[in-house]
Amino acid sequence: MAEAATAGEIPHHRGLPAEIAIWEILVRLPPKALLRCRTVCRAWRLATSSRDFLLAHHGHQPALSLLYTYDVSDASSRSLDIVPLDHRTGVAAADQLRPVARLGTGANCMQLEASCDGLIILSTFGDPCFSVCNPATRQHAPLPLLHGFRLAGMYPHPPTGEYRLLLYPATGVQDACYVYAVGSRQPPRYIGRQEEKELIHRFVSVLCRGNLHWSEAMLEGVSSQLMVFDGTSELFRQMRAPTVPGTAQLFEMDGMLGMASSNDAATIIDIWMMRDYDSEAWAFKCRVELPVAELAMRFRLTNFSNLVVSSLDDNDVLILVESGEWLLQIGIDGKLVAKFNTKYLSITPLRLKQTLVQHTFFPTIEGYIVNAWPFI
């Protein structure tokens, strides 16, 4: 790291050592700010372009809840805004919803399918056409070999260093499972059938420790099991989970799984955290009672079904409720933390941890672009 940091002559800035300037300050900047800092001098540009630095920079980025909104003012030229919710303190509410990218969708509508290490998988509605993009580097490429499939999850594959997609057929034998390495010229590879097909069809998977997870309570009403797809062996297995009634959402927090279960009205939420992944031990964290009367009076909110539970980087829980023109953030104390008046913003269970790491698969894909349409 030090060799990369000291490559070339780095100017002195009021006596601040280059090692500190690069590895303590620049490495913590948001991607856009870092790219601007590269214009200061050639040495900073070289040091902050090395792979070691970019990996460390990615590690310092916050994992932010991912939202999206459409510009539908012109039906022939719709656009999709990818919006991470910057929940960190000291940021004005108006600045918390700045898009990291805007993509033109033409007459089609896109949706966010998966997010992993700063990469986002997009699809069009209906008969899906998939693509991969990196909002921070403004890279985009179509994935035409996925036509006829639907996505169950995205995960890194440690033995190969590839990013892979777990897929199932859009029609036909829908309990069949396939795997595709992003950017590969080979079609998706069949890996067998999955009996609990409804889980991977109907619910968003949660990536934790390189594995994809689904809660069976999402489907059956009461369960004490998770279904797990191992990202290394690419086999399915089961894992213990708290026995909870009703619906359950999974989320990841600092390398551990969390589970949020709610009552039928979705007004009371119980939060569980996995204490030890290997021993599958869980502990009850807290119960959150939403301020129903306040939200009904101030925002005319009577239905809490469109709700997402996620995590913050400071080991706290983020609860987002979508209602008409409002997006509401609720704390684990049950109090309203923030409100955003926005008509077309939609919440997702996905999170975005931005990266400037250059992936070699992008230039190999036909139709690959950088800093061009569909980016606006």
pLDDT tens digits for range 224-267: 789 999 999 999 999 999 988 777 899 999 889 999 998 888 89
Neighbours of 363 (CB within 10 A): 12
Answer yes or no: do 145 and 255 share one domain: yes
Degrees (nearest 5) of the Cα angle 111, 134, 154?
A: 60
Do the domain assignments include residue 289?
yes
Q: State if pTM tops 0.85.
A: yes
Answer yes or no: do 52 and 107 share one domain: no
Answer yes or no: do 31 and 133 share one domain: no
Q: How many independent structural domains does the chain possess?
A: 2
Do the domain assignments include residue 376?
no
Distance CA(50)–CA(43), nearest Å, equals: 11
Do the domain assignments include residue 50?
yes
Structure tokens at 70: 């459409």
Answer yes or no: do 90 and 24 share one domain: no
Answer yes or no: do 148 and 14 share one domain: no
Answer yes or no: do 256 and 130 share one domain: yes
Rounded mean pLDDT, 170-186: 89
Answer yes or no: do 257 and 352 share one domain: yes
In the chain, where does DSSP find H-type helix?
2-5, 18-20, 31-37, 42-47, 51-60, 197-202, 217-220, 292-299
Do the domain assignments include residue 29?
yes
Do the domain assignments include residue 20?
yes
Answer yes or no: do 117 and 171 share one domain: yes
Rounded mean pLDDT, 130-134: 97
Rounded mean pLDDT, 200-216: 90
Rounded mean pLDDT, 190-215: 88
CATH code, domain carrying 335: 2.120.10.30
Q: Which residue has the tokens 């939403």?
A: 290
Do the domain assignments include residue 375?
no
Looking at per-residue pLDDT, the higher value among 74 and 279 belongs to 279
- What percentage of the chain reaches a pLDDT higher than 90? 61
Answer yes or no: do 139 and 227 share one domain: yes
Domain edge (last residue) among 15, 34, 58: 58
Region of poorest pLDDT, from 26-35, 54-63, 84-93, 272-281? 84-93
Do the domain assignments include residue 7?
yes
pLDDT of residue 143: 97
Of 70, 52, 197, give the one whose Cα is nearest residue 122: 70
Answer yes or no: do 42 and 94 share one domain: no
Predicted confidence (pLDDT) at residue 92 exceeds the cutoff of 60: no
Answer yes or no: do 141 and 100 share one domain: yes
- Local confidence band at 202 (pLDDT 50, 70, 90 cut-offs): confident
Do the domain assignments include residue 292?
yes
Distance CA(28)–CA(33), nearest Å, equals: 10
Looking at per-residue pLDDT, the higher value among 304 and 281 belongs to 281
The residue range of the domain holding 29 is 2-58
User: Mean pLDDT in the chain?
Assistant: 87
Answer yes or no: do 53 and 97 share one domain: no
